[in-house]
Amino acid sequence: MSKGRILVVEDDLDISQMLRLYFDSQGYEVLAVMRGSEALDVCRKKQPNVVVLDIMLPDMDGYDVCRELRGNLRTSHIPIIFLTQKDERSDKIAGLELGADDYITKPFDIEELKLRIQGAMRRAEATSLTDPTTALPSAKLIEEQLKILISRDEWAMLYIVINHIDAFTETQDIVARDDFLRYVAINLNETVEAHGTPNDFIGHTSGNDFMIVTVPAAVDTIKNEFSHRFDQGVLTFYDFKTRERGYMVYTDRNGGQQESPLMNLSIGVLTDTDGPFPDIRMLAAEARRRATHASGG
């Protein structure tokens, strides 16, 4: 099971390859790009757990990358560690003022970098900023987003429930479940990137629940596209026999044989016209109620 997804933004091929090989051997999924524009694209679509960001890049400097990540609702929570040859105090302060989480200078000790990455990821998880499996915003960030939502004039929310994931975990294991959840997160990001707006929000509310906040004009397209992606991809997580049978068979904890439908979606849609909602608890409860009463089951 992957320990997390690291994005390395570094135009020195030797350093980039060294970091990729080392962190891959440590059990991390490593993505590497050379340009700042590529980093912004990957962050929106793949949601890394942490970004290791060089300041000197060929198309834009790391400060601009950091500024854009912090200014985008979908990427503002991602921990950023600056990796640079600059060692001036003013450069460090500039990076931290932009919202970077840490700063390490070249030449560096790769074990120290590993500890800094682990620390940044732990802090994000401990403060309920991100889900450790999907790297999507979780409890605290979702709560903040819902507080903003009830004060806005126009908004739409999709509340997404993945049904029968517990049975899937019984037939497979936790590693397979986490791989599937990461697959779901990537598809959510890619769908919203393609059909939503730059300020749309995606959250992982609990083990099998997700939410998207967008604009009313985009909600149906996002719902239909994500549902299509899910239906096309979910079957690849089952073996041939299960796909042919059309349902899961597993042994429960009491030794009995159980059957369960394959995983599917229930999606509830909520908009500002369904309100008003006096507090975020009522908003969240109504969104989930609509999802659980939607088709899927």
Assign domain 139-292 one CATH number from 3.30.70.270, 1.10.10.10, 3.30.390.10, 1.10.3660.10: 3.30.70.270
Give the residue among 30, 155, 135 at the shortest CA–CA distance from 77.
135
Contact 62, 36 (CB under 8 A): yes
Asked, as a colleague might, if the bond just before 132 is cis with ω within 30 of 0, I would say: no
Q: How is the chain split into domains, by residue range?
A: 5-126, 139-292
CATH architecture of 5-126: 3-Layer(aba) Sandwich (3.40)
In whole angstroms, what is the distance from residue 101 CA to residue 75 CA? 14
In whole angstroms, what is the distance from residue 150 CA to residue 154 CA? 9
pLDDT tens, position by position, 191-247: 999 999 988 999 999 889 999 999 999 999 999 999 999 999 999 999 999 999 999
In whole angstroms, what is the distance from residue 115 CA to residue 178 CA? 23
Residue 1 has a pLDDT of: 64
pLDDT tens, position by position, 20-63: 999 999 999 999 999 999 999 999 989 999 999 998 899 998 99
Give the residue among 24, 31, 41, 26 at the shortest CA–CA distance from 10.
31
Give the residue among 106, 100, 97, 83 at the shortest CA–CA distance from 9.
83
pLDDT at 296 over 80: no
pTM score: 0.78
Residue 207 has a pLDDT of: 87
Helix, strand, coil percentages in the chain from 3-state DSSP, rounded to 5: 50, 20, 30
What is the DSSP code string of 227-278? Answer: HHHHHHHGGGGS-HHHHHHTEEEEE-TTS-EEEEEPPEEEEEEEEGGG---S
